[in-house]
Amino acid sequence: MTTARPPATTRTGGARGVELYTRVSLYLFVFLEPFFYLYAVTAVSNLEAELSVLAGVVLVTLGIAHTVLCLATVHAGFDGPLTVGRRPRPVVVVLLALTVAVLAAAVALLPPYPGGGLLHDPRSAMIAVCGAATCGALAVAEPLRRVAVVGGAVVLVVVALRVLSGAEPVAAAVLAGALTAVFVLFWSSTARMSMWIVEVVRRLDDAREVAARLAVAEERLRIARDMHDVVGRALSAVAVKSELAAALARRGDPRGADQMDEVRTLAQDSLREVRGVVAGYRGADLATELDGARSVLRAAGVAVRVVGEVPDLAAPQVEALAWVVREGVTNIVRHSDARECRIVLADEPVDGAGGAGRGRELALTVSNDGVRAGAAPDVAAGSTAGTTSGAGLVGLRERLAAVGGALEAEAVGDRFVLTARVPAPAREAAA
C-alpha cells in the first residue's frame, strides 16, 4: 500500500519551492480542459434552437463539473495516495462517474461529422479531451496500469463510434484512435513526470535529513566513546592514587601529600581532556600514554615493563595505539588482580610477505597476569571491561579499523593479552 506523502508545508528550502511550483503548474494545466470543449459546444448550434440551448447548457455544466473534479483529484493525489488498500477514494469514484456521464452526453447530444479527421468530429474531440484530462488527474498518484486502463477505454470508445458511423474506412477510425492515444499519453505523462520530479526532490530532502541525523548520532557515539576512555582512565587513576594517599596519611608518611598533588594534576588534566571531547579537538600521544601507564600501574602496585620504542608512524596510527594503551591500562586497574604488566612494541613482518614491500605491521601488546580464577570465559577477559565486545574494545576496534588496523583479545591461562596491529611502511620506504 502506498504511504501518504507529507504536505509541502512540512518541508523547507528547495523541496518546498519545487512542490509549490509543480502544484501550481498542474492546477493551471487542469484549467486547459474547458477551452478544448469550446469547439464541441459550438457544434450544437447546428441543432434546433431549443435543443441547441439545452445541449449547450448540459455540455457546459458537465464540462465545468469535470474540470472541478479533475482539480480536486490532482489536489488529493499530490498529498497522498488515491487508493487506500484496494478501495479508491471517493473523489476518484466521482471523477470516473462524471467522465462516463460526459462521454454519454457527447454521444447523445453531439452529431458526428461525416468523414474528416479527429478535429472535424466534435464528438470524438470532446471524448478525447475528457479522457485525457481524467487520465492526467489520475496519473498524479494512481498506478500507471490503472491509468492505462482508463486511457485504453477512451481510445476504444472513439474508434468504435467512428467505425459505427460508417462515414469513413476502418483505417481512418484506427488513425483517429491513435491520435486520441497520443493526446491521452501526452496529458497523463506530463502530470506523471511532474510528480516524478517532485518525488525525486522529496527523496533528496529526506536523504539530506537522514544524513543530518546520522551525523548527530555519529557525534554522540564519538563523545560517548571518548568520555568512556577519558573519564574511565582518569577516575581509575584518581581512585588508585587517593587510596594510596589515604594509606600513607594514616601512617603519617609525608608522601601522601605528593600523591594528592598528583590527584589534583590528574583531575585538571582530565577536565582539560573532557573539554577537548566536547570541542572535538582531543588527541592522544603514545609516549605520554606510556608514561602515564607506568605511573598509574606502579601506584596500583603493578610492576610494569615497556619494551620497544615509540614507532615513527602517521599521527592517526600512533594516536590509535595510544588509545589502546590507555584502555588496556585502565581495565587492568579496574577489572583485574594483576601483579605484573608487560607492554611490547614490535615491528613485525606480515605472514607470507617475507618482510618485503608493504608487508610489515606494528604490533602493540598489553599483557598482564590478572585473570581472576574461576571467572567465566567471557569474564576471564576482565582486563578488558568484562567481555571482548565491551564498550571499551568496541571503541578501540573502531579506532584501529579507521587506520587499517585490527585488535585481538584473548585469555591464556592466568594471563590476558591485548594485541593491536596497524600497518607500517617497509623499511626501504621509511628510509
What nine digits make up the cell of 302?
603493578
Nearest one of 133, 139, 134, 135 to 192, comparing CA atoms: 139
Rounded to an integer, what distance in angstroms lies between the CA atom of residue 138 and that of residue 245? 81
SS3 171: helix
pLDDT surpasses 80 at 209: no
Nearest to 181 by CA among 211, 142, 200, 153: 153
Question: How do residues 339-351 score in pLDDT, each as one tens digit?
Answer: 899 999 988 777 6
Question: In the predicted model, is pLDDT for residue 75 greater than 80?
Answer: yes
Per-residue pLDDT, averaged over 229-248, amounts to: 75
Q: Does the structure show a pLDDT above 90 at 275?
A: no
Average pLDDT of the chain is 77
Name residue 411's beta-bridge partners: 416
- Distances from the Cα of 281 to the Cα of 234, 275, 313, 325, angstroms: 18, 9, 20, 20
What angle is formed at CA 195 by the lines to CA 191 and CA 200, rounded to 5 degrees? 150
Average pLDDT, integer, range 383-404: 66
pLDDT at 112: 67
What contacts 302, CB < 8 A, 6 or more positions away?
A: 332, 333, 338, 339, 340, 341, 368
Question: pLDDT-based confidence at 372, cuts 50/70/90?
Answer: low
Instruction: Output helix, strand, coil percentages for the chain, rounded to the nearest 5.
Output: 65, 10, 25
Whether the pLDDT of residue 142 is over 70: the answer is: yes
Indicate if the pLDDT at residue 337 is higher than 60.
yes
At a CB cut-off of 8 Å and minimum separation 6, what does 293 contact? 304, 306, 325, 326, 329, 341, 343
- CA-nearest of 423, 258, 278, 416 to 357 is 423
What pLDDT is recorded for position 135? Answer: 92
Q: Which residue has the cell 605511573?
A: 295
CB atoms within 10 A of CB 144: 13
DSSP state of 408: E
pLDDT of residue 10: 52
| pLDDT interval class at 368 (50, 70, 90) | very high
* C-alpha to C-alpha distance for 272 and 268, rounded to whole angstroms: 6
Q: How far apart are CA 380 and CA 388, in angstroms?
A: 10
Mean pLDDT of 303-319: 85
Element (H, E) at 83: strand 83-84
pLDDT band with cut points at 50, 70 and 90 for residue 219: low
Check if the beta carbon of residue 227 is closer than 8 Å to that of residue 280. Answer: no
pLDDT at 44: 65
Of the candidates 404, 406, 405, 408, the residue with the CA atom closest to the CA atom of residue 416: 408
Please state the rounded mean pLDDT for residues 193-221: 78
Note the helical H segments in 280-354: 286-299, 315-335
